[in-house]
Amino acid sequence: MEGSQPLTILFAEDDSVSAKILGRTLQNLGYTAHGFVNGQQALDWFIEKQPPIIISDWMMPLMDGLEFCSKVRALQLPHYTYFILLTANAGQANYRKAMDSGVDDFLSKPFRRDDLYIRLRVAERIVRQRWETDAKIRSLAHFPSDNPNPVLQADREGRITYANQATLGLLKLWGCDVGGNLPGSLLPLLSQSPESGLVRECELCCDHRTFSFAVTSVSQEGLIYLYGHDITARKHAETQLIDMRNRAVTQSLQDALTGIGNRVLLDQRLPELIEKMKVSQRKLGLVLIDIDNFKDINDSYGHKVGDQVIIHVAHALRDHLKSRDSVCRWGGDELVLLISDLPNRSVMRQICDRLIQFVKEGVAQSDLPKITLSMGFSVYPDDAECPETLMQKADQALYQAKADGRDAWREYSGDSVLFTSTQNVYQRLNAAIEEQRITAFFQPVWDVVGNRPAGVEALARWPDPALGFVSPDEFIPLAESKGLIIALSRLVMKKSFETMQLWRNQGLDLTLSLNLSKRQLVDKHFLTELYTLVDDHQLPHSNIIFEVTERQSILGHAIGRQRLEEMVAAGFRLSLDDFGSGYSSFDLVGELPFHEMKIYGGLIRKMDTPQGKRIVQAIIEMGLTLGLTLVAEGVESEEQVEILRSMGTQKIQGYHYSKPLPQDKLMDYLKGMAQRGHFSRPDNVTEASQKISF
Ligand code: C2E
Ligand code: CA
Q: Identify the CATH assignment for 8-136 out of 3.40.50.10740, 3.10.105.10, 2.60.120.10, 3.40.50.2300.
A: 3.40.50.2300
Residue 78: CB atoms within 10 Å: 10
Give, in order, the Cα–Cα distances in Å from 161 to each of 164, 218, 356: 10, 13, 76
- Nearest-atom number in ligand 1 for the CA of 598 is 3
CATH architecture for segment(s) 426-675:
Alpha-Beta Barrel (3.20)
Q: Which atom of ligand 1 is nearest to the CA of 635?
A: 18
Kind and range of the H or E element at 439? strand 439-447
- Confidence category of residue 245, pLDDT binned at 50, 70, 90: low
Q: Which ligand is nearest to the CA of 459?
A: 1
Q: Is the Cβ–Cβ distance between 375 and 355 less than 8 Å? A: yes
Look at 436 and 203; give whichever has higher pLDDT: 436
Best of 293, 481, 515 for a ligand 1 pocket test (most atoms within 8 Å of beta carbon): 515
- Evaluated on CA atoms 622, 625, 626, 632, the torsion sign reads positive
* 372 alpha carbon – ligand 1 mean position (Å): 23
What's the rounded mean pLDDT across residues 174-197? 79
The CA-atom distances, in angstroms, between 238 and each of 77, 97, 119 are: 20, 19, 12
* Residue among 474, 466, 287 at smallest CA distance from 393: 287
Task: Tell me the pLDDT band of 36, cut-offs 50, 70 and 90.
Answer: very high
pLDDT in tens, 96-125: 777 778 888 888 777 778 778 888 888 888
d(CA 293, CA 477): 9
pLDDT in tens, 50-78: 999 999 998 888 888 989 999 998 887 77
Looking at domain 141-233, its CATH class is alpha beta
**8 Å CB contact between 289 and 318:** no
pLDDT bin (cut points 50, 70, 90) of residue 582 is: low
Query: Cα–Cα distance between 152 and 209 in angstroms, integer?
Result: 18
| Other Cβ atoms closer than 10 A to 447 | 19
Give residue-wise pLDDT tens across range 623-663: 888 889 999 999 999 999 999 999 999 999 999 999 999 99
pLDDT score for 538:
95
% pLDDT > 70, the chain: 88
Which residue's CA is the nearest one to ligand 1's atom 42?
Answer: 515
48-57, 191-200, 231-240, 467-476: range with lowest mean pLDDT: 191-200
Weakest-pLDDT range from 46-55, 58-67, 202-211, 387-396: 202-211
Determine which residue's CA is closest to atom 27 belonging to ligand 1.
472
Rg (CA), the chain: 37
**Cα-to-centroid distance, 439 and ligand 1 (Å):** 14
Smallest CA separation from ligand 1 atom 30, residue: 472
Ligand 1 nearest atom to the CA of residue 600, by list position: 3
User: How far apart are the CA of 169 and the centre of ligand 2, in A?
Assistant: 89
Question: Cβ < 6 Å from ligand 1: which residues?
Answer: 443, 459-460, 471-473, 476, 489, 492, 515, 517, 577-578, 601, 633-636, 653-655, 660
How far away, in angstroms, is 583 Cα from ligand 1 center?
19
The CA 642 to ligand 2 mean position distance, Å, reads 22
Q: Whose CA is nearest to atom 7 of ligand 1?
A: 634
Confidence of residue 417 (pLDDT cuts 50, 70, 90): very low
Take atom 15 of ligand 1 and give the residue whose Cα is closest: 654
Which pLDDT belongs to residue 681? 55
Give me the pLDDT at residue 335, please.
Answer: 96
Task: Report the largest interatomic distance among the alpha carbons of the chain, rounded to a whole angstrom.
Answer: 125
Mean of per-residue pLDDT scores for the chain = 85
Q: Which ligand is nearest to the CA of 516?
A: 1
Per-residue confidence (pLDDT) for residue 624, from 0 to 100? 87
Q: Which atom of ligand 1 is nearest to the CA of 440?
A: 41
CA of 525 to the centre of ligand 1 (A): 25
Residue 143 has pLDDT above 70, yes or no: no
Q: What's residue 528's pLDDT? A: 95
**Does 549 score more than 60 pLDDT?**
yes
| Cα–Cα distance measured from residue 336 to residue 529, given in angstroms and rounded to the nearest whole number | 41
Quick one: average pLDDT of 489-499? 96
pLDDT band at 694 (very low <50, low <70, confident <90, very high): very low
**Ligand 1 centre and the CA of 623: distance in Å?**
22
Helix (H, G, I), strand (E, B) or coil at 409: strand
**Going by C-beta distance under 8 Å and a sequence separation of 6 or more, which residues neighbour residue 184?**
none
**pLDDT surpasses 60 at 512:** yes
> How remote is the CA of residue 424 from the centroid of ligand 1, in Å?
24
Query: Using CA atoms, how far apart are residues 190 and 156, in angstroms rounded to an integer?
Result: 6
Using pLDDT thresholds of 50, 70 and 90, give the confidence band for residue 250.
low
* Residue 690 confidence (pLDDT) above 60: no
**Closest ligand to Cα 653:** 1
Using CB atoms within 10 A of its CB, is residue 179 exposed (0-12), middle (13-18) or buried (19+)?
exposed
pLDDT at 469: 81
Ligand 2 geometric centre to CA of 292 (Å): 21
Q: Compute CA distances 314 → 122, 370, 674, whole Å.
A: 36, 15, 58
Q: How confident is the model at residue 210 (pLDDT cuts 50, 70, 90)?
A: confident
Q: How far is the CA of 459 from the centre of ligand 1 (A)?
A: 6
User: How far does CA 568 lie from the centroid of its chain?
Assistant: 36
Boundaries of every domain in the chain:
8-136, 141-233, 255-418, 426-675
Angle, nearest 10°, between helix axes 485-505 and 663-675? 40
Task: Please give the pLDDT value at position 532.
Answer: 96
Interatomic CA distance for residues 598 and 589, integer angstroms:
12
Class of domain 255-418: alpha beta
Q: How many Å apart are CA 430 and CA 427, to the nearest integer?
A: 5
Closest C-alpha residue for ligand 1 atom 1 = 578
> Contact at 8 Å (CB) between 155 and 215?
no
Q: Which atom of ligand 1 is nearest to the CA of 441?
A: 25
CA atoms of 631 and 605, how far apart (whole Å): 14
**Using one digit for the tens of pLDDT, what is the confidence trace for 300-335?**
788 889 999 999 999 999 989 988 899 999 888 999
Ligand closest to the CA atom of residue 486: 1
At residue 421 the predicted structure's pLDDT band, cuts being 50, 70 and 90, is low
Q: What ligand 1 atom has the least distance to the C-alpha of 655?
A: 18
Edge-to-edge order in the sheet of strand 160-163:
160-163, 151-154, 224-230, 209-218, 201-206
Tens digit of each residue's pLDDT (9 = 90 or more) over 256-295:
888 899 988 899 899 999 999 999 999 999 999 999 989 8
- Is the bond preceding 6 in cis, omega lying within 30 degrees of 0? no
Angle (deg, nearest 10), helices 39-49 and 65-74:
30
Residues β-bridged to residue 207: none
Q: How far is the CA of 633 from the centre of ligand 1 (A)?
A: 9
